[in-house]
């Protein structure tokens, strides 16, 4: 079975400062890992996906994530936060058969002016 | 390009009333389709998924049901709503068949409030 733990339910940063959203995963095989973003009352938008081609994955809107197998982590980073980054972020792992996705509980990112 | 639609966007229904939420996908054929529910302050829970017309897999026992009458149409239904059915319902698709990938793309969602 697979699982995802997002280590922070809420993160607050100032505009222009770096963002770090932490995610640990557990899987008995080599899964795909994703980060999605959800703005209030909106659907989920795919930020990036890891599929073992490269450990550092670049996504949209300046986000990137690094896969560290030894630490079973897939943390999301951005060098400089923008007000529009304020949203809920979900770390996700693909399930057995790769049809089901397992979602973390989410991290709410707040960006202060 | 592919797009996914859901309607209605918001819905307020009394307890015991029926429910029908619709999801359609454009720009692809033979997609895998999914229904998720997001309760307030919680993550996403997979309710149903479908790999083809008339093929539905249920992940969580409940008073909801799903149907796929056409290749790119996915419907979530209930005969009698419960208060606990309130939440944000999201439809998603992924490439299916021989083109299968595990990347899912989500619709805009339906906010359901049961009173």
What per-residue confidence (pLDDT) applies to B100? 67
User: How many angstroms away from the CA of B35 is the closest CA of chain A?
Assistant: 11
Sorted by sequence, the CB contacts under 8 Å of residue B70 that are 6+ apart come out as B53
User: How many angstroms away from the CA of A79 is the closest CA of chain B?
Assistant: 26
Contact between B109 and A98 using a beta-carbon 8 Å cutoff: no
Q: How far apart are CA A89 and CA A91, in angstroms?
A: 7
Of B32, B42, B108, the CB nearest to A99: B32
How distant, in Å, are the alpha carbons of A45, A58, A93, B59, B69 from that of B22?
Answer: 20, 34, 26, 19, 11
What per-residue confidence (pLDDT) applies to B43? 79
Contact between A90 and B44 using a beta-carbon 8 Å cutoff: yes
Contact between B43 and A90 using a beta-carbon 8 Å cutoff: yes
Q: What percentage of residues in chain B have a pLDDT greater than 90?
A: 76
Contact between B43 and A103 using a beta-carbon 8 Å cutoff: yes
Task: Provide the 3-class DSSP secondary structure of residue B23.
Answer: strand
User: How many angstroms away from the CA of B69 is the closest CA of chain A?
Assistant: 21
Per residue in B13-59, pLDDT (tens digit) is 999 999 999 999 999 999 999 999 998 767 788 899 999 999 999 88
Tokens of B82: 């419960």
Task: Provide the 3-class DSSP secondary structure of residue A71.
Answer: coil
Residue contacts between A and B (CB atoms, under 8 Å): 45
What per-residue confidence (pLDDT) applies to A102? 87
Cα dihedral sign for B67, B70, B71, B75? negative
How much is the average pLDDT of B93-109?
85
Nearest CA in chain A to B10: A41
Q: How far apart are CA A49 and CA A53, in angstroms?
A: 10
Residue B97 has pLDDT above 80, yes or no: no
**C-beta atoms surrounding B94 within 10 Å:** 21
Decide if B1 touches A, using CB distance below 8 A. Answer: no
Nearest CA in chain B to A106: B43
Which parts of chain A register pLDDT below 50? none
Decide if B30 touches A, using CB distance below 8 A. Answer: no
Contact between B109 and A46 using a beta-carbon 8 Å cutoff: no
Contact between A103 and B44 using a beta-carbon 8 Å cutoff: yes
């Amino acid at each position: 079975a697979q699982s995802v733990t997002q280590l922070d339910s809420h993160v607050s940063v100032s505009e222009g400062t770096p963002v770090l959203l932490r995610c640990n995963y557990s899987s008995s095989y080599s899964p795909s890992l994703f980060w999605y973003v959800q703005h209030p009352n909106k659907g989920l938008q795919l930020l990036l996906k890891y599929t073992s081609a490269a450990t550092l994955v670049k996504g949209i809107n300046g986000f990137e994530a690094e896969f560290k197998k030894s630490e079973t982590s897939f943390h999301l980073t951005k060098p400089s936060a923008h007000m529009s980054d304020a949203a809920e972020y979900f770390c996700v792992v693909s399930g057995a058969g790769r049809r089901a996705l397992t979602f973390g509980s989410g991290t709410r990112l707040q960006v202060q002016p | 390009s592919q797009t996914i639609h859901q309607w209605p966007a918001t819905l307020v229904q009394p307890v015991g009333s029926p429910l029908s939420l619709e999801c359609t996908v454009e720009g692809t054929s033979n997609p895998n389709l999914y229904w998720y529910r997001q309760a307030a302050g919680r993550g996403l829970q997979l309710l149903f998924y479908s790999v083809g017309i008339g093929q539905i897999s249920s992940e969580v026992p409940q008073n909801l049901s799903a149907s796929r009458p056409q290749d790119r149409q996915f419907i979530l239904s209930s005969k009698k709503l419960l208060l606990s059915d309130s939440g944000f319902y999201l439809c998603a698709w992924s490439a299916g068949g021989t083109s299968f990938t595990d990347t899912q793309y989500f619709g805009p969602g339906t906010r359901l409030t049961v009173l």
